[in-house]
A and B are shown apart, each in its own frame.
Chain A
């Protein structure tokens, strides 16, 4: 152990290590600069015809153009939503179209078993029939269960497949799914990967979330491909554009766009750096007794690693690590009100208890990971000893 580490592996007093960038990345400096500038200039309603409205409109249009360029889509395909969840709901439900859930041969949503709960809840809320496609032990959608042509997607109205899994990091074969669509529109929840990885191809609508790439929270991005049949699933807002609702937080949208541009420009180097940190965590944690590292070891997000520890309550482990100064997430819910294990881990056949997700970000250093790896075995052993 290093000299700055106590016997229990905690960091020096006051030094906390944030390892939950997959839940929310710290604000990128480029976002802060854009936000501060736009707060004073882009306060007006961008739909008003006066000068101040025009100034806000200009900022909004610049943000849209920058976002489109960074994502590799067209500006008129980009709509800013109020969160990633909002973008997911609008994207998925908009593809279902009018008359969804209207009895008889109603609509059918085919989705991977490991979609984010926002996708699953939206599909259920729509009243559509849903069909779940299973995943392999690494969490990757089983393409064998989605044969090409009518057999695989018989009667599907929309197919939903995430770009990468938010809990275990496994990248999904979106483009192979797209090859099997036979005209059925594909919705992609890209919240876990957008900014860090290029978008896959072959989808009709896609959702992303700015605070996952270092933009502010409260900005979602909905992308609807040109020529897609998309129908507003929510009450109309006649003040806004076709897919918009309400008054955008224009300064936050600009900050999100600035962060996205910066992250895309930096990602070759940054992904290599975070990937090395994750590989080190996977190697060390994988060598600890009775711990399973889950998710694909190679085809995965560069910044996420998830593991499950036998005989440990995941939430207790999160609290113990937090006490030591390390901030991680958990897919375990042993003591939560629902008592339902993570549907992602369950679908993979992975151990659902004792689960920890570590996600490294721009601010994570080699030293942070060293200290985490020094602290983890003791934390797990202390909890096991309480049994």
Chain B
């Protein structure tokens, strides 16, 4: 799983990073955004809905920062 470190970023930067790198993983593989920005909790699933990717869910990175996991579709 590719993990993007977006800890210090404010919206919409984590979503921009996600869009930039989603094609770095193969179709069906996972990509994760680690972001402390509160908007990411809503915006990652919304981005998935708008772009056709699959939102897998949320867990925590090693340092307890929220991590949002996406599966590349298409």
Contacts and interface: CB of A to CB of B under 8 A. Distances in A.
Interface in B8-60: 10-12, 15-16, 19, 37-39, 41-43, 45-47, 49-51
A239 to B, nearest CB: 46
- Chain A interface size band reads 20 to 34
Contacts of A292: 46, 50
A340 B41 CA distance: 11
Given A340-B38, A341-B42, A345-B42, A353 B12 contact: yes
Identify whether the interface residues of B are mostly helix, strand, loop, or mixed: helix
Identify whether the interface residues of A are mostly helix, strand, loop, or mixed: loop
A352 B39 contact: yes
Contacts of B42: 341, 345-346, 349-352
Contacts of B43: 341, 351-353
Interface of A: 290, 292, 308, 310-313, 332, 334-335, 339-341, 345-346, 349-354, 387
Given A290-B50, A341-B38, A349 B12 contact: no
Tell me which of A335, A340, A341 has the highest count of chain B C-beta atoms within 10 A of its own C-beta. A341
A184 to B, nearest CB: 31
B46 A339 contact: no
B47 A341 contact: no
A334 B51 CA distance: 21
Nearest to A383: B12
Nearest to B45: A349
Question: Sorted from nearest, which 6 A-B pairs have the closest CB atoms?
Answer: A353-B12, A351-B46, A341-B39, A353-B11, A334-B11, A346-B42
Contacts of A352: 11, 39, 42-43, 46
Contact of B50 (A312, A332, A351): A351
